[in-house]
Every structure is written in structure tokens, then in C-alpha cells.
Structure 1
Amino acid sequence: MGQILKLYDYISRYEMNTNQYTNQFIRLKKERWESLQKACENGFFTEEKDESEKTTKGNIFSFKRGKKRSAAETDKKYEWFYKEFSEGTGLNVDLLTSDRKRAEAFKEYIYRFQLKWASSTISQISSIQHEVYLDKELEMLAQSLPDSYFILYKPVLKVRKAAVELTVVLLAPLKIYCVVFLEGRNERESVFLGSKNRFWEERFQNGTRNVLNPCASLFRTEKVLANILNEKAIDLPIEKLIISRTSYIDYPDLPFGLSIVDKRNWREWLTKQQKNTAPIKSKQISAARQLLYHGESRSHDRKEWLDS
């Protein structure tokens, strides 16, 4: 799963120690997946009907801690399991009865876990807007990309004392992608006509509409990234990318350095990234650290710190 290092202007614990937390994420994910697998194999999930909800919601199942204790229950690496999966998750029992559904449930858990890391430190926390939980593009990137990919999702960076919101930034081990998602209306066939004009045209069965040219924000993001990384002599190629998973993009005179991924080759592009087995690189960590250093963060003290 891609690691979410930065969300908008939220504070992130990756700002504290980028190298530590990127490696800790991979280790924790591995340990918790193994503990979940073992928990299921040993019957730690029991199927119980919630009597209080039978009449209003039908047969609903939740996961409860079994009455019998095993040695694994005292192992610290299982503490997360009881707290976040066993007690009060409300997940349907079917989610853990097959490898595929178990993996889907685990991905959802890790995604929520990532949102916490990308919006808090030990002492500070940012308020996550409800729209973030509904953002399918963010969720797709986090759940589809390898662990070695870092996601800065529309980060707000300080540039000459001004706050600038960038496009989505993906830090792969050997390359940086500046990404804009361009999704059409709910039409079976939709085509975006690219140009150097201020607006592009989207054509679909029942008419047309104008959309703001996405290239401007991509070129701005590239320039900001290049300036920041050049300060520390960090040399990583930057590729500008327009992605449309549901529509086609027709842009005959494509500007240099700009790539198009649309309905025709979206799956191919994603599969290529998923097959990228390159580990996290030191230059990639340096780039992430430098970008986070320039990040704008709005946060407040965590309640437990205020009460202490």
C-alpha cells in the first residue's frame, strides 16, 4: 500500500522523522497482517448475533473476544487486534471468511490507520474533513500502490512565505509524478479534447462542457518541486501526468514532459507501478523530508496532552 505522507495542510508524523516512520509503517503492516491471519486461523473471531439490533437491522454480526484465552492474547503484538478489530468494529462476519475478503477488510483498516498518521503527531492533531473519508482517488492510490511509493495528496507548501496547494505528488523510488485526475461525467463514452487554451472541452453523448485546463496546475507543481529539491541538490526526474480512469483524452500536440493515462491504458499503467519492486531509496527519503519541511500545517493540541 502506498504511504500517505501528507494530506493538504494537515500535520503529519512523517514530518517528525521521515525515515523512521516509512520503515515503521512497512513493519507494522506486515506484523498486523500476520497477527490477523493467525487470529482467524485460531478462531479468535466468533460469530454472535447482536440481540439489541435483531428487530431493526436483521441479523447483524460483530466480532467479540472469545472467552478462552490463549498465549497469543498476552502477546503485545496482538493488542491492536483486540482493540481495533475484535471490539466494536461492527464488521460483517463474511469479511473474514475468505482470503480475499479478509485482505479487503485489512486494507480498509490500514487505510484508516494511515489517515491518522497523516493527520497527527504524538502531541498535535489536525481535523480531517468528512470529504477526505469519501475521496475514492486517495483511497485507490493508498490501496493500490506499493509500500515504496509515497503519497503527498494535494499538499500545501510554503513558497516565498505564501501557501501554495499543489497537485497530487507521488514519490516513487526513482521518479516523482505530479498527478491530476480528470474524470468525466457518468457517461459510457466521454472524450476530453486537450489544448493550450484555458479550458478543455469534454464531449459526451448528451452534449459538451468546459473544464479548466489541468496543465497549468501540473506545471506549477513541477516548478515548485524542482525549486525545493534543487536547494538540497536532490536530483530526481519529475513527470507530469494526467489520469482519467473513466474517459478518453485526445491531445495531439502534447507538451514535452506531459504524459496521458486514460481509459485505454489506465490498468496497464497501474499494473506497471504495482510490479515496481524497487525498495525505498535514500534519495527518495531526502526528497520527502525536504518537501515535508516546506509543508504548511494547521493543527491543535491533542486532548490527552491538554489534560496532562
Structure 2
Amino acid sequence: MAQLIKLEDYVSRYEWNVYRYPSQFIRMKQDNWKEMHNLWLNDDFAHNIKTDDPEPIMSKWKSFLKPDSRKTTTATELHDDPIDLPKTENDLRYYFLDKLFPLQLKWATSTATDVSFMPNDYYENDRLKYFLMRFPDTYLLMYYPIFNVKKAPVEGNIIFISPIGIEIIHMIEKQPGTLITADGERTWLVKEEAKQETKMLSPLLALKRTEKIVKSIMNQAGIALPVSKVVLSRTNHIASLKESYNTKIIGKHEYEDWFTEKRNLVSPLKNQQLKTAELLLKHCQTTAVKRPEWESDDDEAFLSGSGEKGS
């Protein structure tokens, strides 16, 4: 599960300490997967989920599986739906990742002292879920971050920071059957079935703007992690008349190869990767307010109690 280190301009735990949270998340995820998997293998899973207690009785999961106070789903809705109970190990994996998703959003919108107000529709954002749930733990995701450039806010594209490089991604998803033609630097052509051809703004413009910001920040710090640009569509074919420099055009025919390559990357977190993430986060805009004094942070209590070894 990739890690959401920045969501728009919301306050993130990773900007507070990017060297601590990635390894903490990986360790927490692995430990709790083993616990949940063992319960499922021993037929104890349904009992734990269906307990009269409004939260699961798995101690480590109490603060992670309970509904977020900012989400509209109630505890009764969470535990009374029998369809949610996984029947196969693959179902269990999806269940597990689905329950981690709200935690990711919480970490990307709050710290021990501050909180940002995120629209509830992010809980159902399929594109964000795709990037977080389908890629390895060592990928760090910045989802449309807002950079401070000469004291002005500039919205960036999706930024994927892996142990071996950075990909700046622009997603295009039109109706199936729509053909997209990379026709030029400023405009591209869109041809829907049985409709007239129209034009769209070239995604290369936004990609180049984000690339310029990222490279400028890295160059000032002397970091040489490779940076590439990607136009990505899972649903449409993209006809490219010519390749742009350092840019991959990934349409639906190329998608599986690209996706498999990302999924197959086996590498631990790298120091240069974390240093790059830290620098990019420092140049992002953050909008937040102080957390109310009476509001506790169960996640922080759990992490503090679990120790800092290995981070």
C-alpha cells in the first residue's frame, strides 16, 4: 500500500517527520495484517468484527478501524453489514486495505497538534484509492500538492516518489472507446464514438510546470534522483505522433506493462528518497488549524507506545 504523504494543502504527519512515519506505517501494516490474517485463519475474524463492542476487540486495531469522526459512516453501519466479511484470503486483503484507507487520510490531514478540513468525498475517491491500494509500501504519494513558488500557490500534478526515482503523473480517463491523440505541445485531440472531434489542453503543460518546480527544489539541494513525466490512461488509447522528451505516454494498451513494472519493484525505503520527500514537503503550502484541546489522537498514543526502533 503506497503512502499518502501530501494531499493538496492539508497538514500531513509526514511533513512533521518524514523519516519516522514511512517505516512506522510499514511496520504497523505488516504486524496488523498478520494479526488479522491469523484471526481469519482460526475462524475468529467474524466474532471480532461482530462483537457487541462498537469497535473491534483487536487491541492494536481499535484506533485504526473505528470510523473517523469526520466521516459520515456510523459504527453500526460499519459492523452490521455481513457483506463486508471476507470469504477468501484475497477478499481479506482488500478488506484490510480498505480499512487502512481512512487511516491514510487521517495521517494526510492531521498531526498531534493540527488538523485540516478535508471534504468527505475523498473517502470515496476511486483514483486516490487506486494509487494507494495497488502499489507497494515504499511508494510515497503526493496527490495534487500545492507548492509555494515565489510566495504564490501553484497546484502540482500527482507525484510518485519511489526508491529509484520520481514520476510526475497526469491521468486522463474518458469514456471507453474515446481516442486521444497527442497532437501537439498545447492541445490534444479527443474523438468520442459517433461524435465530432474536440480539443483538450495538453497535459504536457501541467507536467512540465510540476517538473520544473520539483527539479528546481532538488537541484538547490544537490539531489540527483531521476525525474520523469507520465501521461496515464487506464481506459483510453492515446495515439502519440511523436514522443516528448522524458515523457511516457501510457494508454490502455501500454498500461499493464507500466503497472506490472511498478508493482514488481522490490526495494526498501532509501535515504535519498526520504530526503527528497522532505524537501518537496517543505516547499508545499499547508492550511490547518490547531486541534481542539479535548480531542485526543489515538494514533499517536499507539505509535508512542510501540517504540521507535527501526525508524
What TM-score bracket applies, with the shorter chain setting the length? 0.7 to 0.9
Q: Does 1:43 align with 2:44?
A: yes
Determine which of 184, 189, 200 is the counterpart of 1:201.
189
Residues 126-151 of structure 1: CA deviation (Å, up to 9, x unaligned): 11113322322111010011001000
Determine which of 246, 254, 267 is the counterpart of 2:256.
267
Aligned-pair distance for 1:278? 1.3
- Secondary structure of 1:241's aligned partner: strand
Q: How has the CA–CA distance of structure 1 residues 161 and 78 changed in structure 2, closer, same or farther, with 3 Å as cutoff?
A: closer
CA distance in 2, matches of 1:92, 1:252: 51
Aligned-pair distance for 1:22? 0.5
Q: State the TM-score, normalized to the length of structure 1.
A: 0.85
Please, which runs of 5 or more residues in structure 1 have no aligned partner?
48-61, 67-72
Matches within 5 A, 1:31-180: 31-40=31-40, 41=42, 43-46=44-47, 63-65=50-52, 76-77=59-60, 79-80=62-63, 83=66, 88=76, 89-90=78-79, 92-94=81-83, 95-180=85-170
Q: How has the CA–CA distance of structure 1 residues 2 and 78 changed in structure 2, closer, same or farther, with 3 Å as cutoff?
A: closer
CA distance in 1, matches of 2:66, 2:180: 47
- Secondary structure of 2:50's aligned partner: strand
Conserved 8 A contact 1:123-1:305: no
Report the equivalent of 1:54.
none
Conserved 8 A contact 1:31-1:77: no
Conserved 8 A contact 1:46-1:65: no
Aligned alpha-carbon RMSD (Å) = 2.4
CA distance in 1, matches of 2:237, 2:65: 46
Report the equivalent of 2:272.
283
Query: Identity of aligned pairs, percent?
Result: 28
Residues 274-305 of structure 1: CA deviation (Å, up to 9, x unaligned): 11001111100000000111110111122345
Conserved 8 A contact 1:228-1:291: yes
Please, which runs of 5 or more residues in structure 2 have no aligned partner?
68-74, 297-311
- Secondary structure of 2:189's aligned partner: strand
Q: Whose radius of gyration is greater, 1 or 2?
A: 1
Q: How has the CA–CA distance of structure 1 residues 8 and 82 changed in structure 2, closer, same or farther, with 3 Å as cutoff?
A: closer
CA distance in 2, matches of 1:285, 1:32: 24
Report the equivalent of 1:8.
8
Tell me the matched-pair count: 284
Aligned-pair distance for 1:194? 0.8
Conserved 8 A contact 1:35-1:78: no
The AA in structure 1 aligned to 2:268 is P
CA distance in 2, matches of 1:81, 1:97: 22
Q: State the TM-score, normalized to the length of structure 2.
A: 0.85
Determine which of 217, 220, 231 is the counterpart of 1:228.
217
